[in-house]
Structure 1
Amino acid sequence: MALDFVAGCLGGAAGVLVGHPFDTVKVRLQTQPANHRLYRGTFHCFAEIIRKESAFGLYKGMTSPLIGLTFINAIVFGVQGNVMRVIGEGSVLNSFLAGSAAGAVQTLVCSPMELAKTRMQLMGMGQKAKTRKEKDVKNSLDCLLKIYRKEGLRGCCRGMTLTLWRETPAFGVYFATYDMICQLLSPKDPNEHIGMLALMFAGGMSGIASWISTYPIDVIKSRVQADGVGGKSMYKGTLDCFVRSYQAEGWTVYTRGLNSTLIRAFPVNAATFTVVTLFLREMRPSQPVDTTLSKPHLYEK
């Protein structure tokens, strides 16, 4: 169990390092107003952030997911493993149910973490790094403390319900997809490891399937969590955000930033699975590594 925890932490950290720039682009595209668009699309957003804010602008808010990663891994490992032992192993459906349970529980950590990340990612949007005043928020923890002082505990929980709606089915799809693909691609010899390319493919496709399954909810979550950053709130609540977003931009608003998300999903999960697998194979050379989620490992989405 301890080795699985360490492996998950290392793999998740690798995923954050690879994928955070894409996540910053996703949040910028999701939250920009329809009547004042700074970015025309994924690649234009990348270029503009680097041009105006330097390459470090792509890594704004990364402290929050890195700090929260350890707690999320611990929660998901414990919940997913215990649920699988109760309901039975070897079934894709059970992988979905166990993953959904894990996704629901880790929302308690994930939601405030993503709130701070979103607020940090939107700081200085469209401003040149050399001319921008020194930011008031030092880091993600300081961001949460300032939200708490201004809005109380309720402010720190902004978007938690939407995060729950997103994470519960998304983690179910994620774990079930990975389990299914690994079962299809596993060698016939049970003593052989699944190939590295197959492992990376399974992880990448699992991330893509997971994001597609709940992406519209993620768009609304980002808008609700970003609301009020400029000092003025636009939405009265989740339903108001959903309706007004549709009225202003049509159904395509719910796919805003999807390209950058899917581009990010594959390498993030491929990197995560690779790091986890290499670590476990190195630490357990005499034991075959179970590459399906019937024997659960965490791979950060």
Structure 2
Amino acid sequence: MHFADFVAGSVGGAFGVAVGYPFDTVKVRIQTQRKFTGVWNCIRATCKTEGVHGFFKGMSVPVTTVSITSSVVFGTYRNCLQCLLQLHSGSSEAPPTKLDIFLAGLAGGVAQVLVMSPADTMKVRLQCQMEPRHAVAIQSAPKYHGPMHCLFTIVREEGVLGLYRGAPALALRDGPSFATYFLTYSTLCEWLTPAGQKQPEWVAVMLAGGVAGVGGWAVGTPMDVIKARLQVDGMGKRKYNGFLHCITESVRQDGPGVFFKGLGLNCLRAFPVNMVVFFTYELLVGFLRTSP
């Protein structure tokens, strides 16, 4: 088993969160709250209501958990890839096919759902909870006072399964998204590696990582919208009876364009985030594999 990929993926994921979190907060609010008509409208409202710190609400959740989920994704991807190579080539050192990379990425994306779903649900609810900076009225007091209070409140009011609201949409988002992500990264690195070299230059690694992130989110955004709406639905009166009902109601109320809410912001955030993720991952995995 390749343990270096679990460790490198963990650190890379944590650095990625630090870079992209404010974009993620704006994206989640646009996807789930109809009062925001666009990116700048959401940014202005957040600054006016909560100040700059409003963009970082719930950040402690992904910082402590995304490193784990990123570890699961990269570790599962690498080890599934080795298993596939062993199965059809008889050697884990054989060059992978595009299908091998796609299937290993799909497995990595789906594998992280069990670990990621509870933390993602808490993150989204904390991000969507907007309260004035100087709130004094009881009516304006936030429902959740922090990550742990959010966790216990969800379990008390909705049961443990409340932490997995939106999990099917999350799996349908991350499976195809990570399959596209790793396939795009691998293909670009192959194209950008000079003749006679085994590895691309660091600039090529960062470029490939950024483009891979954009490609992954282009595929994953429609299910990301549904996932976020289902997760936020538990904060108040229920609007959706389930996954399919959420899809049909979202289309009925907002039209087919609803599936692309936050797409531009996702892609804008994905490029720098995944430049950092893959740079950190490749740097660490190379060091760990050569260490005695």
TM-score if structure 2 supplies the norm length? 0.88
Q: 1:82 aligns with which of 79, 84, 103?
A: 79
Q: When the two structures are aligned, how many residues end up with a matched partner?
A: 279
Q: Deviations over 1:179-214 (max 9, x none)?
A: 0111010122325x4222221111111111111113
Structure 1 residue 4: Cα displacement: 3.4
Shift of 1:235: 1.3
Give 1:73's aligned amino acid. Answer: S
Question: 2:278 aligns to what?
Answer: 273
Q: C-alpha distance in 2, partners of 1:74/1:272?
A: 11
Shift of 1:78: 3.5
**Residue 229 of structure 2: aligned partner:** 223
Distance 2:284 2:223 in 1: 34
Equivalence for 2:60: 63
Alpha-carbon distance, 1:285 to partner: 7.3
Corresponding residue of 2:90: none
Mapped to 1, the partners of 2:289 and 2:177 lie a distance apart of: 30
Q: Is 2:17–2:66's contact at 8 Å kept on the other side of the alignment?
A: no
**Which amino acid in 2 is paired with 1:4?**
D
1:176 alignment partner in structure 2: 183
* Separation (CA, whole Å) in 2 of partners of 1:87 and 1:179: 16
User: What does residue 294 of structure 1 align with?
Assistant: none
Alignment-mate amino acid for residue 135 of structure 2:
T
Unpaired runs of 5+ residues, structure 1, are: 288-301
Name the one with the larger helix percent. 2
- Whole-Å separation in 2 of the counterparts to 1:94 and 1:281: 22
Calculate percent identity across the aligned residue pairs.
38
Alignment match, 1:296: none
The AA in structure 2 aligned to 1:5 is: F
Structure 2 CA distance for partners of 1:32 and 1:284, relative to 1, 3 Å: same
Equivalent position to 2:211, from 196, 205, 227 = 205
Q: Take 1:279 and 1:51, find their aligned partners in 2: how far apart are those partners?
A: 41
- Deviating above 4 A after TM superposition, structure 1's stretches of 4 or more consecutive aligned residues are 280-287
Instruction: Give the alignment's Cα RMSD to 1 decimal.
Output: 2.1
Structure 1 residue 277: Cα displacement = 3.3
Distance 1:286 1:159, change over 3 A: closer
Whole-Å Cα distance in 2 between the matches of residues 152 and 21 of structure 1?
30
Q: Give yes or no for the alignment of 1:48 onto 2:45.
A: yes
Contact 2:190 2:200 in 1 (8 A): no
C-alpha displacement at 1:91, in angstroms?
A: 1.7
Equivalent AA in structure 1 for residue 246 of structure 2: C
Aligned to 1:228, the other structure's residue is in SS state helix
Q: Contact 1:42–1:259 (CA<8 Å) still a contact in 2?
A: no
Q: State the SS of the aligned residue for 2:159.
A: helix
Q: Which has the higher contact order (CA 8 A, sep 6+)?
A: 1
Report the AA paired with residue 69 of structure 2: I
CA–CA separation in structure 2 for the residues paired with 1:77 and 1:208: 18
Please give the alpha-carbon distance, in whole angstroms, between the structure 1 residues aligned to 2:171 and 2:213: 18
* Structure 1 residue 166 displacement after superposition: 1.1
C-alpha distance in structure 2 between counterparts of 1:214 and 1:275, whole Å: 23
For 1:147, the equivalent position in structure 2 comes to 154
